[in-house]
Amino acid sequence: MDKIIDFITKRLPFLILLSAIFTYFSPVHWETEAWIPSMLLGIVIFFTGLSMKTSSVKEIMSKKREIFVVTFLKWTLTVGVSMILAYTFFFHEPEFSAGIILSGTVPSATAATLYTFLAGGNIILVIAANFLDTLISPFVTMLAMMNLPGTVSIAFLDLLKSFIFIVILPLSAGILIQFFQPKIVNYSKDLTRFGSSISLILIIHIIVGSGKEAITSRVDSLLLLIAVTLVQVVFPMMVAYYIAKKIGMSEADSRAILFQVGLCNSALAAILAFEFIGSLGAIPPILNSIINLSFGSYISNHFASKHNKAEKCHLLNG
C-alpha cells in the first residue's frame, strides 16, 4: 500500500494532467450532483487540517514579518496580475474575465503546503498565511469583480456560504480532531496523502467533464487562455521569490512565499465558477489547476534537487 501511495503522490501532477486529457477526449465521464466536487474538495481541506501541527503555533507567532509579506504579496501581486490579465485580454468576455479573476482571489492551494515541504521551505509560514487567505478571500473576490461588464454577478452571502462549507468547516474539523487527539497525525499521514491525491484527481475529472462542451465551444480561445494562465501562475511566483530574497528573507521562507503566492486553489475556483458564473467561467480555473500543479511540481523538484546536492557537499566537506 505504501508503494501505491508513493506512486500516486509523487506523480500527482502527471496523473492530474492525464485525468484532464482523458476526460476531455473520453465519450463518457462521471456525471455527479453539483455538491459532489465541493464535498471532495472539502475532504482534501479536511485532511490538510488533520495534518497541521497545532504545536507549531508559537513558531507562527514569531514569523509576523514574514506572514505580513506573504499576505501582502498574495493580495496585491497575485490579484493585481489576475485583474490586469482579465481586463486586458478578456474585458468583453465577462465569463472568462470572472474565471481568471476568481482563480487569483481564492485562498492558496493545498498543494502549496506539499510543494513547500518537498522544496525544503517553511511549511509553518504557508499554514499561517492560509488561515488569513481563507478570511480575506471572499471580500477581495467581490471587490475584484465589481467592475466586470455583462451579466456576471455573485451574491456576497452566497459566496461566503460556499467558503464556509467548502473551506472553513472542513479545515476547522480537521484541526479540532487532531487538537484533541494529537497522536492521530502520526497515523493519518498516509491516509492524508492518499485521500487528498485521489480527491484532487476526481475533482479534475468531474470539472473537466462538466466543462467539456464549454471548452469545445471556445477552442479558438484556448491558446490565449493557456498563455494568460501561464503568466498568471508563473509571474507572481518568480516575483514573490525575488522580492523575498531582496528584502533578506531566509531561503526556506522565500521558497514558502513563492508557493503560497503563486499557487491558488483553482479547484475551488472552478467549483465556484460552475455555481456562480457558468461553464465558460470555469475554463480558466480548470486550466489554472493543471498548470499550477504541474509547474509547482517542477519548481519543488528543482529546489529539492538543489537541497540534496547541498547536503551531499556538506557531508563530503564535513
Domains, the chain, ranges and CATH?
2-317 (1.20.1530.20)
Nearest to 148 by CA among 83, 56, 211, 80: 83
pTM of the model: 0.79
Q: Is the pLDDT of residue 59 over 70?
A: no
Q: Is the pLDDT of residue 61 over 50?
A: yes
**pLDDT score, position 189:** 66
Helix (H, G, I), strand (E, B) or coil at 34: coil
**pLDDT score, position 132:** 83
Cβ burial, residue 172 (10 Å; 0-12/13-18/19+) = middle
Q: Is the pLDDT of residue 314 over 50?
A: no
Q: Is the pLDDT of residue 24 over 60?
A: yes
Q: Is the pLDDT of residue 186 over 70?
A: no
The pLDDT-based confidence of 291 (bands split at 50, 70, 90) is confident
* Higher-pLDDT residue of 251, 215: 251
- pLDDT tens sequence across 82-109: 999 998 999 888 889 989 998 998 888 7
> Average per-residue pLDDT in the chain?
80
Please check whether residue 40 is in contact with residue 197, taking contact to mean a CB–CB distance below 8 angstroms: no
Q: Which of 60-64, 275-279, 305-309 is the most confident on average?
A: 275-279
DSSP string, 76-144: IIIHHHHHHHHHHHHTT-HHHHHHHHHHHHSPBPTHHHHHHHHTT--HHHHHHHHHHHHHHHHHHHHHH
C-alpha cell at position 41: 474538495
- pLDDT tens sequence across 233-258: 999 999 999 999 999 999 989 999 99
% of the chain residues with pLDDT over 90: 21
